[in-house]
Structure 1
Amino acid sequence: MSTTIRTVGLLSNTDAAAGTQYYRHIRKVVKEQLGDLSSPNLVLRTVNFAAVIELQQQGRWEDARKYLANVAYSLEKAGAQCVLLCAVTMHLVADCIDSSIIVPLIHVVDVTAKKLQENKHSKPLLLASGYTMEKGFYQSRMARNGVDVIVPDECGRSAVHNIIFNEISEGVMLQSSRDILISLINTAKSQGADSVILGCSELTALLDVNSLPLPGYDSTILHAQAAAEFAISKSDA
């Protein structure tokens, strides 16, 4: 008997790296579960990342909310049965986006928290963009799931943000930057952290999530995994 695959809506930025990672992992899971000829049903919208970053830098979060909410709504109208934001930073406005659509928004923090809980990790270090580490939305949502997120100090946060946006995003991979990230993980470990979350897809270009001083969680892969499971799960329809 054939399996109905539900349609996943992906809202990505114009830097194709994250969207590509989502597509590849969702496709991999669907093929593994349903057979080589199976493929996911996806609806993809990309947004001008430069425009989103400019809005963020100007503190115009309400404009960012409206912009991304309209894009999410267009995914729903195109047939998406769930929506994912393929950038952790975009989740700062996730509540507004969620309220603008009827279909579920699969939240990256919730799926990451679930995996942490499964492995009995409750105090992860978060490495991500400065916006994600500093705005508090990530920590507060994790706290609702019983997880106490810690972040590097101000100097460390600045270093991570710079590595993401001024190096990795520009195709620059430096061993010295990898050493900085590993040092931040070791510092957090000495302060009681029991795991580390790579909360930005770019970081996996420098760090192997399976070869870190602490157990690692790639939030992009976990998020994509949740989307794949939604796609192949039985619908009530």
Structure 2
Amino acid sequence: MKKIGLVGGISWTSTLDYYRFINEGVNAKLGGLNAAECIIYSLNFGDVQAKSWVNSYELLLNACESLKKSGVEGIVLCANTAHLFADRLQEAIKLPIIHIGVETAKAVKKCGYKKAGLLGTKFTMEMDFYRDKLGEYGLEILIPEAPETRDYIQYTVKEELGIGFVNPETKAKYITIVKELADRGAECIILGCTEIPMLINQADVAIPVFDTTKIHSEAIVDYIVSS
């Protein structure tokens, strides 16, 4: 079993899900009392927000280097937006980083969908790093058209879900946003922020939903138990 390093705390609420999903997955495959051998470097999300994501490379690099010194064999960035630096970090630390965008793209493509709606932070929705990774697998990506809608998602991810607050009014608004994407032709929805599954899931909307936290965790489990 491989030892994995998790860069978490971005935010701590979704890092809890990663820890649970990974350990449940390893146990399901290996049985008994087996669980993942992992090390979590939990960043202070306040530091990331103070710098903004685009200026947080050094924070992430320090976390990855600390995990490498601890003897991990692979790295996980426990946030979609953190993958802004995934390729650069992998080159710097010389360890594999299990990429959430790649694993999500594989999952969507496997189901035969070609046009997906994407919900995430403003960085994930608007910048090329994530959409291009999905595009490499032939996916056409739709994001909410109105800038104020993308601002709203950013605000609620940061100020509500990032501290574990699930607001029923926010949930209703997200469901409306999903419907708008479906009306524009989205065949499925990618929950491209690891906090968003706290708010909505497949039971809430009519079109298929891809939970990137679960998809990523399943890929991590496969890596851990691989020979």
For the residues of structure 1 that align with 2:49 and 2:160, how far apart are their CA atoms?
A: 16
Moved more, 161-170 or 38-47: 161-170
Counterpart contact for 1:168–1:205, Cα < 8 Å: yes
Note if 1:86 corresponds to 2:82: no
TM-superposed CA distance for 1:14, in Å, is: 6.1
| 1:184-234 deviation per Cα after TM superposition (whole angstroms, max 9, x unaligned) | 111111111010011122212221234422100110111111111100011
Note if 1:122 corresponds to 2:118: no
Identity %: 27
Q: 152, 163, 178: which is aligned to 2:171?
A: 178
Counterpart contact for 1:69–1:96, Cα < 8 Å: no
Paired residue total: 226
Note if 1:205 corresponds to 2:201: no
Report what 2:26 is aligned to. 30
Q: Any unmatched runs of 5+ in structure 2?
A: none
TM-superposed CA distance for 1:9, in Å, is: 0.8
Secondary structure of 1:38's match?
A: coil
Note if 1:223 corresponds to 2:216: yes
Q: TM-score, normalised by structure 1?
A: 0.90
Structure-2 change in CA distance of 1:128 and 1:35 (3 Å) = same
Structure-2 change in CA distance of 1:171 and 1:26 (3 Å) = closer
For the residues of structure 2 that align with 1:170 and 1:22, how far apart are their CA atoms?
A: 16
Tell me which stretches of 4 or more aligned residues in structure 1 moved more than 3 Å: none
Q: TM-score, normalised by structure 2?
A: 0.94
For the residues of structure 1 that align with 2:66 and 2:199, how far apart are their CA atoms?
A: 34
For the residues of structure 1 that align with 2:164 and 2:63, how far apart are their CA atoms?
A: 28
Secondary structure of 1:149's match?
A: strand
